[in-house]
Structure 1
Amino acid sequence: MKILDIADVASAAALPPSTLRYYEEIGLITSVGRNGLRRQYEPETLLQLSLIALGKTAGFSLDEIAGMFGANGEPVLSRPDLHARADQLERQIRELTALKQAIRHVAECQAPSHMECPKFQRLIRLAGKRQPARRKSPTGRHI
């Protein structure tokens, strides 16, 4: 088994070493030791990082992702949670598709001003009603 240096893992995962250290700090990944001051990881860490990236892309928080790994680092995925996330993504896709179509209409609208376009007026009203909640990272920063 080849042990990977933090620089190798960072390069392969396209992540800065600080992210790897943070993921280790919150328990998402585990180093197997150090070579001097440099952390060392097993090759399976790359699979874990891929699963973390996939989870983030799907909209799971880091806390939710942490719950998807067993004590041995193997994925333990809840099928009901995955179904719920897939349903949420389906709703988001529908909403984004409608938004895309509205924006395209406004871009091509022949009204003398966007403010005279009825679809643009509806888009503005909908946007005012749907201000997305800003999430905070574990460090307290808005993401």
Structure 2
Amino acid sequence: MRISEVTAHSGVPATTLRYYEQLDLITSTRASNGYREYGPEVLERLSFISVAKKMNLDLEQIKWLLQVTATGTCTNTRDALHPVLADRLREVKDSIRRLEELKALLERSLEHVATCPDSSEPCQSECAFKALI
């Protein structure tokens, strides 16, 4: 497949395909006219990359995982992938916890600010954030 066909089938822009090729995430050969030619396996690799990116894995991790899946058994792949996913899940849970704490602080702040009295005087401490800490 030419680069335009890969783009049409995968939705991945040609610039991204070239970048992935520079990083050795995908490969192509050169036709006699100089055009890149991709094998059918590139679509599967692009799908793998897409899912891994949705999990917020970085491109180095993705490259390593692609190498493991290409050269290893299912057992090796599972054993390599499991700790990566477990670490990522821990990171996401920590992010969710921090976001929940932020949400609670914002909700308290919003309630607090809503009760501030109308006044043409300079703001007193009862409306300041420091009252919430």
TM-score by length of 2: 0.67
After TM superposition, give the deviation of residue 41 of structure 1 in Å: 1.5
Q: 2:35 & 2:65 partners in 1: Cα distance?
A: 27
What is the CA–CA distance in structure 1 between the aligned matches of 2:97 and 2:68, rounded to whole Å? 37
Following TM superposition, by how much is the alpha carbon of 1:24 offset from its aligned partner in structure 2, in angstroms? 0.8
Contact 1:111 1:117 in 2 (8 A): no
Equivalent position SS for 1:99: helix
Partners of 1:106 and 1:65 lie apart in 2 by 41
Gaps of 5+ in 1: 123-143
Q: Which has the larger radius of gyration?
A: 2
Counterpart Cα distance in 2 of 1:116 and 1:20: 51
Aligned to 1:84, what secondary structure does the other structure show?
helix
Q: How large is the Cα RMSD of the aligned pairs?
A: 3.1
**Are 1:54 and 2:51 an aligned pair?**
yes
Determine the structure 1 residue equivalent to 2:128: 116
Alignment correspondent of 1:9: 6
> Is 1:86 aligned with 2:83?
no
Map of 1:66-85 to 2, 5 A cutoff? 66-70=63-67, 73=70, 76=77, 78=80, 79-85=82-88
| Residue 97 of structure 1, aligned match among 76, 94, 100 | 100
Q: Distance in 1 between matches of 2:90 and 2:83?
A: 11
Unaligned runs of 5+ residues in structure 2 are 117-122
1:27-66 pair list within 5 angstroms: 27-34=24-31, 36-66=33-63
Q: Residues 96 and 17 from structure 1, CA distance in 2 versus in 1: closer, same or farther, beyond 3 angstroms?
A: same
Distance in 1 between residues matched to 2:21 and 2:89, nearest whole Å: 28
Q: Which amino acid aligns with 1:93?
A: I
More helix by percentage: 2
CA contact (8 A) 1:32 1:40 kept: yes
